[in-house]
Amino acid sequence: MSDGYSFSFADARARSYCYASGGRALVPGVAGAVDVEITGDGPFEVHGVEVGAMDLEPLGDAVMLGSDQRREWVCRARGKAPGGAMIDGYGTVALGPTGLGGTALRRDLWVCVDEDLAFLASAERRHARDGHGDEKLAVIVARGSPLEPSAIADPRLSTSYGADGQVLRAGLELWEGEDAGERERSRALRLAGEAVASGELERTSVAFMVWRHAGREGIGCYAIERAG
């Protein structure tokens, strides 16, 4: 496998969403996959006829996520949509091996509440017969300005699907303490997300979601990639 960039961004106010991998992008409301280009090494520049012109400015250093140890940046997304609407949202850029390798299924999601609070998650199933309980789930919370990552000791991810298999809702319950004593002194971080746009890009199902956490609202993207 070769390394490559993938990225996504979302702005619920402007109703602008994009998920891209391998130079092809899903833009809800546009039929089929469209061409897109990303350049730079942070800030990143995105260009595409159906995507518009976008700057993705990292809010901190890259974190390592997933068994393939891809590097992922949480970014502020600013630019102009094809229709002229100004976009001011959030997104991520990932650099790592393209494809799943020996993994049968991978679920990746990110949530940005604001510039100083974000969450990244990756869940992998090694075999097609594996179930939810067999997944290897890793979650990182990033706080501060610039964002500083911290691994979640005991993460839990739940997902509800529609009849078409698309993600409708999701929830995260995140325990930062590693032992019972730490948990008694702390409280779980809880997030609830609801899809506002969705679609398919090759073997990847994508849902753009509005998330709620501790009375605050954020935006994010939930992608599920399956092996052929």
- Tell me the pLDDT band of 15, cut-offs 50, 70 and 90: very high
Query: What mean pLDDT do residues 10-25 have?
Result: 94
* Number of domain units in the chain: 1
What is the spatial distance between Cα 88 and Cα 78, in angstroms, rounded to a whole number? 5
pLDDT for residue 2 is more than 80: no
- Least confident range from 47-56, 65-74, 135-144: namely 65-74
What is the spatial distance between Cα 48 and Cα 33, in angstroms, rounded to a whole number? 11
Beta-strand runs (E) in 98-166: 105-114, 117-125, 136-143, 148-151, 154-161
pLDDT at 215: 95
Query: What mean pLDDT do residues 2-17 have?
Result: 88
Average pLDDT value for the chain: 89
Contact status, residue 101 vs residue 124, Cβ threshold 8 Å:
no
Query: What mean pLDDT do residues 39-57 have?
Result: 92
pLDDT for residue 182 is more than 80: no
Domain containing residue 206: 3-226
- Tell me the pLDDT band of 1, cut-offs 50, 70 and 90: very low
Structure tokens at 185: 């002194």
pLDDT for residue 97 is more than 90: no
Give the residue, 116 or 125, on which the prediction is more confident: 116
Query: What mean pLDDT do residues 102-110 have?
Result: 89
